[in-house]
Amino acid sequence: MSLGFDAETWPVVLDTLTEKLKKINLPHQINNIKTFEGKVSKARENITIRQKIATYISKCSEVHHFKNGTAASRLRDQGNEKFKRKDNAGALKLYTESIICAPEYGPELSLAYGNRSAALFHCGEYRAALDDVQMALKCKYPKNIEYKILQRKAQCLLRLGSYAEAVEVLNSCQAGVDAAKLSDEKKISVMKDVNAMVLELEGLLNRTNSTERDQTNDPSPLFVNSSLPNASPKLALKSSEEKIKGRFVITSQSIEEGELLFSEEPYSSVLLPEQYSTHCHHCYRKLEAPMPCKKCTQPRYCSNACVEEGWQEYHQYECGQLDLLHSIGIGHLAVRTVLVTGLEKLVNIKQSIKGENFEYSNDDEYSRVFSLTHHVDKMQYTVTAALLATFLTKKSKFIFPTKSPSQQTEDDTDEDLVNYIGGLVLRHLCQLVGNAHAITELRESENGDVQQVRLATAIYPSASMMNHSCVTTIINQFKGRRLLVRATRSLQPGDQVTNCYGPHYRRHAYQERQDMLLNQYKFRCMCEACADLKERNFMKKFEARRCNFCDGSVIDETCTTCDKQMKTSEDYDAEIDGIVGELLNCGIQDTPGERNRIQRLEKSERRLSNILYKHNSHLARVRDMLARAYSDEGEYSLAAELTRKCLGTVSERYGTKSIEVGHELLKYTDLVFAQLNNGEQLDPILLIQSLTEARDIFALNYGENCKFVAELNQKLSLLNQP
């Protein structure tokens, strides 16, 4: 990431620093210190580290994100040009930039809000336009043109169905016209418009009794669970003596597939810098008409409520300093966790933390974060925590609210507090390696694919209690910051509820999974897919040969079904490579109309299905190509039949509820619809089953509101199915 100035990035600083410190054996000394606080204190005492930190902090502060009234008014003028040319979207963007850099006081902010409300109104965004009018009025919109913006307010209210309120606004508009000192002619014309609107509104008021907009609240249920907050009451938290399991989540009652298991807001979370321009800094909603921070130009918010909440909880300490916080990556979330907890709380628990008796309690949310597992600490984390502790002292008023940040802290008691806070930052940093969750959003790309995009990083104390398994039982969805966890299969009482931390048995081979888990989480996985020797070979199935005796898969020269030995022949391997290579290289899949194309594919498919296991990925690929070739030639029933075979392989490989199966089912149902359109007589039962299955898969993976669910529901309604 570019920091916008010519400086070494923090990881580079860390690397050179660590090399230097190795010579005086400091990493080893720090490693031997037991407490996080002691480690940070030791690092902060070292003169080399102190100097590096001081230089880095001052480098990061060189780039300012100050408000600029001149720039704001220039951007507004540019916006006006676009607005005149009826480029509302273009005008909207420039007005937003003008709002972001307009100073808190002065006319630019109110004028920019006023102009953006006009652009929003023309885009049909009446609710957002109304919000901007309110902001313009709040920021002291010039009195002589206030009547204009009041007219717009009334128009917004009219479109939103708040007729009575609109009439009230128009009444105050009349006073505004008097105050505006307009020429008599202009005054008459404006009043004519106002009166016409009042008449229209009174007509509307007589017809309907105020149509209240329904404020759809978040429908996700809030769970009451005494052992695990924000989890379904059917779940319980258990502790085990075994070190590897620690605390884990089990079911106390049976759970159905798709059932909601957790509905949790994060304790703390941080938006990724690449999402700053498009998402609210505080709630991660997509921005329509962004609101600025009062002091700096970096974060953007969806509403004033988010501006205020963000400021109170953390931004007052981060304002203007986000460059430094971005540069330390996940460390930003560690410091944010301390900020949202608040100094008062941290001071209150200082003695019990030092006495090592600050214990997990469901009534104390911070204790639940504090007691999350943490992994082996690295020298780099300690130095980063030292940097952050110094940052909080010198650049914010978090630790010393009454001192100006530039005042030095030489006092012993002050140093003690700084090291204590630094120790907490270090603890969280070490916890995040294993406990941070990514908040994602589903985004549709231009070619219609849906992708999961990372928006933010967060800590969910309850959901973090789930242990890893390479065979997951759950799926994560997000509603803004709220994490919704659903079961992907039914569970019996006493079953453990597990989450896959990344290495999934259907996507990573056994050894690869073990290496990933050992590296990042420091444990060996013994889940059902890892403990069972046969299951460990799961991924090899898709490269296997076919057993000549029972059609099973031959792995390492032995059939996994009948145990008979089968020698691999190099001739076979060469032949398979030859067939597949030829098909791919000659680009045969892209030349419809070629006469012998289908024959050649059919021949390859026959040969490969003879020598390869039925779910071998090469075979699946050739089948997919052949199905497409059939479909190009209008041979829909042959294509559909082959797609069903591919569906079997995709289910085996990715699981019956996987998104891959959803897409394969879409392909299949499209082919069946093509058959129907051709006038072929078909029993629709299999089609209806497939459509319903696909709909349920997309709803489970992407949520009920995704476009695929809508599309499939529409197809089902064509067949008169609910």
Q: Which is nearer to Zn ion, 91 or 325 (CB)?
A: 325
Q: Does 319 bind Zn ion (CB under 5 A)?
A: yes
Angle between helices 107-122 and 69-84 (to 10 degrees): 20
Q: Which is nearer to Zn ion, 561 or 591 (CB)?
A: 561
Half-sphere exposure of 133 (CA within 13 A, CB side): 24
Element (H, E) at 12: helix 10-23
Q: Does 283 bind Zn ion (CB under 5 A)?
A: yes
Q: Smallest distance, Å, CB 504 to Zn ion?
A: 9
Q: Which is nearer to Zn ion, 289 or 293 (CB)?
A: 293
Give the integer Cα–Cα distance in Å for 583 and 597: 10
Q: Smallest distance, Å, CB 470 to Zn ion?
A: 3
Q: Smallest distance, Å, CB 468 to Zn ion?
A: 7
Site stretch for Zn ion (CB under 5 A), options 32-40, 272-280, 535-543, 605-613: 272-280
- State the binding string over 570-589 for Zn ion (x if CB under 5 A, else -): --------------------
Q: Which is nearer to Zn ion, 118 or 293 (CB)?
A: 293
Q: Which is nearer to Zn ion, 65 or 148 (CB)?
A: 65
| Sign of the alpha-carbon torsion through 390, 395, 398, 399 | positive
Q: Does 102 bind Zn ion (CB under 5 A)?
A: no
Q: Does 547 bind Zn ion (CB under 5 A)?
A: yes
Q: Give the burial string for 499-511 (b: 16+ CB within 10 Å, else e).
A: bbbebbbbebebe
Q: Smallest distance, Å, CB 527 to Zn ion?
A: 3
Contact with Zn ion (CB under 5 A) among 530, 601, 626, 666: 530
Q: Smallest distance, Å, CB 450 to Zn ion?
A: 24
Contact with Zn ion (CB under 5 A) among 5, 66, 105, 549: 549
Q: Smallest distance, Å, CB 552 to Zn ion?
A: 4
Q: Does 430 bind Zn ion (CB under 5 A)?
A: no
Site stretch for Zn ion (CB under 5 A), options 108-116, 352-360, 557-565, 598-606: 557-565
CB 208: neighbour CB atoms within 10 A?
A: 9
DSSP of 611-656: HB-TT-HHHHHHHHHHHHHHHHTT-HHHHHHHHHHHHHHHHHHH-T
Give the integer Cα–Cα distance in Å for 533 and 550: 21
Q: Which is nearer to Zn ion, 202 or 528 (CB)?
A: 528
Residues 6+ apart with CB under 8 A from 73: 98, 108, 111
Q: How many residues of this chain bind Zn ion (CB under 5 A)?
A: 21
Give the integer Cα–Cα distance in Å for 147 and 154: 11
- State the binding string over 288-307 for Zn ion (x if CB under 5 A, else -): -----x-xx-----x---x-
Q: Smallest distance, Å, CB 176 to Zn ion?
A: 31
Contact with Zn ion (CB under 5 A) among 1, 164, 518, 550: 550
From residue 375, give the alpha-carbon distance in Å to each of 433, 435, 526: 7, 10, 19
Q: Which is nearer to Zn ion, 129 or 280 (CB)?
A: 280
Q: Smallest distance, Å, CB 546 to Zn ion?
A: 9
Q: Which is nearer to Zn ion, 81 or 512 (CB)?
A: 512
Alpha-helical segments (H) within 67-183: 69-84, 88-101, 107-122, 126-138, 146-159, 163-179
Query: How many residues can be counted in the chain?
Result: 722
- State the binding string over 623-662 for Zn ion (x if CB under 5 A, else -): ----------------------------------------
> Measuring CA to CA, which residue among 392, 397, 415, 383 is closest to residue 335?
392
CB 54: neighbour CB atoms within 10 A?
A: 13
Q: Smallest distance, Å, CB 306 to Zn ion?
A: 3
Q: Which is nearer to Zn ion, 427 or 513 (CB)?
A: 513
Give the integer Cα–Cα distance in Å for 665 and 650: 10
Q: Smallest distance, Å, CB 133 to Zn ion?
A: 19
Residues 6+ apart with CB under 8 A from 284: 269, 271, 275, 439, 441, 455, 456, 480, 481
Phi, psi at 487, each rounded to 5°: -80, 135
What does DSSP assign to residue 541?
G
Q: Which is nearer to Zn ion, 14 or 470 (CB)?
A: 470
Give the integer Cα–Cα distance in Å for 391 and 310: 19
Contact with Zn ion (CB under 5 A) among 235, 237, 432, 470: 470
Residues 336-395 that bind Zn ion (CB under 5 A): none
Q: Which is nearer to Zn ion, 289 or 712 (CB)?
A: 289
Q: Which is nearer to Zn ion, 519 or 585 (CB)?
A: 519
What does DSSP assign to residue 182?
-
Q: Does 559 bind Zn ion (CB under 5 A)?
A: yes
Contact with Zn ion (CB under 5 A) among 128, 325, 527, 665: 527
Q: Whose structure tokens read 């549709």?
A: 444
**Element counts in the chain: helices (H) and strands (E):** 30, 15
> Measuring CA to CA, which residue among 17, 41, 16 is closest to residue 29?
41
Q: Which is nearer to Zn ion, 158 or 340 (CB)?
A: 340
Site stretch for Zn ion (CB under 5 A), options 203-211, 314-322, 329-337, 669-677: 314-322
Residues 486-525 that bind Zn ion (CB under 5 A): 525
Site stretch for Zn ion (CB under 5 A), options 257-265, 278-286, 632-640, 641-649: 278-286
Site stretch for Zn ion (CB under 5 A), options 198-206, 315-323, 366-374, 654-662: 315-323
Contact with Zn ion (CB under 5 A) among 552, 630, 640, 661: 552
Q: Is 48 helix (H, G, I), strand (E, B) or coil?
A: helix
Give the integer Cα–Cα distance in Å for 163 and 201: 6
Residues found near Zn ion in the complex (CB under 5 A): 280, 282-283, 285, 293, 295-296, 302, 306, 319, 470, 525, 527, 530, 547, 549-550, 552, 559, 561-562
